[in-house]
Chain A
């Protein structure tokens, strides 16, 4: 019943169930209290979201577009990622090649742990790649402090 009351308050009940509860409420102070209490708590904890005070959509959109422009400019001049990419990738490749060579020489007993080792190395490598795809954040702080100063 309690769950139904919540769904009733949320306006999510089918017509039949809704009218069932509507018919029940006048004769049941307990359920009425339950609904009223939940309504009061919701209002206290989650006041209906009004247009946020002091929020300027125009300025906000300018900040977002400036960040986007900055990010895309950085992407056109990939100065930072170029070097670490090669530096990280070459040893990783070398390791995999060496491991494969060992694999051929080792008996089946050593293979499992070696496979696990390679997998973990590859996972480490993938994390490095993810990190490099992150956009550079330089300049974002400047935008932010400029935004704060405007206030």
Chain B
């Protein structure tokens, strides 16, 4: 699924990458149009603020342009750009002060205007908002690396091999990290339910 074909026609991916590596900006712009929705969606899940997600996604594509001459197609362009975007998200989280992070945590239920949660399909709207808010709180307490791997697997639907390419590690390492991330999520979930009496 990561090997983006040529959605909506247009030149094949490999050709665009070669041309971009030769300095062809039109070709690169086409790659940006093709991959930016999913890259942005990854950044949005990681950072949960529209402006930060925009910044990180832009940062990723600008950085990728700087080094596309050295990109030699050992992996797909998609995996490569996701890896750069994931690093941009980590940088963004690092820059974000602890105080800001806590400001998100204490966001009140219903204060969803800036949240990027896609709507869960529940019939009861108020339940959905409360659920999404609780989910955001709990996710905010996961370490960035755990959040990243869970987003790649659960929200973005990448398989283990693709995640290994994005995170630049082995498939076994992916299994281990995913296991730890899920365990951490379960623990946070249990603490949260105990405290909030959910």
List chain A positions with a Cβ less than 8 A from chain B.
Answer: 3, 6-7, 10-12, 38, 41-53, 55, 57-58, 60-65, 67-69, 71, 144, 147-148
- Minimum distance in angstroms from B190 CB to a CB of chain A: 11
Residues of B within 8 A of A12 (CB): 159-160
The interface-forming segment of B10-18, B87-95, B103-111, B174-182 is: B174-182
Seed contacts A61-B33, A61-B36, A62-B29; 8 additional CB < 8 Å A-B pairs: A6-B182, A7-B175, A10-B153, A10-B160, A44-B131, A52-B44, A57-B36, A65-B28
Number of A-B contacts (CB under 8 A): 105
Residues of B within 8 A of A60 (CB): 32-33, 36, 40, 54, 57-58
Are A3 and B40 also in contact (CB < 8 A) when A10-B160, A147-B54 are? Answer: no
- Minimum distance in angstroms from B60 CB to a CB of chain A: 9
Cβ-defined contact, A6 with B58, below 8 A: no
Residues of A within 8 A of B182 (CB): 6, 38
A60: nearest residue on chain B (CB-CB)?
Answer: B36
A-B contact pairs, 23 of them (CB 8 A): A6-B182, A10-B160, A10-B178, A11-B159, A45-B139, A46-B155, A49-B38, A49-B118, A49-B155, A51-B41, A52-B44, A53-B118, A55-B41, A57-B33, A57-B37, A60-B40, A60-B58, A61-B33, A64-B65, A68-B25, A68-B65, A69-B25, A147-B54
- Dominant SS among interface residues on chain A: helix
How many angstroms between the C-alpha atoms of A50 and B121 in the bound complex?
13
B157 within 8 A of A: yes
The one of B33, B41, B135, B179 in contact with A52, judged by C-beta atoms closer than 8 angstroms, is B41
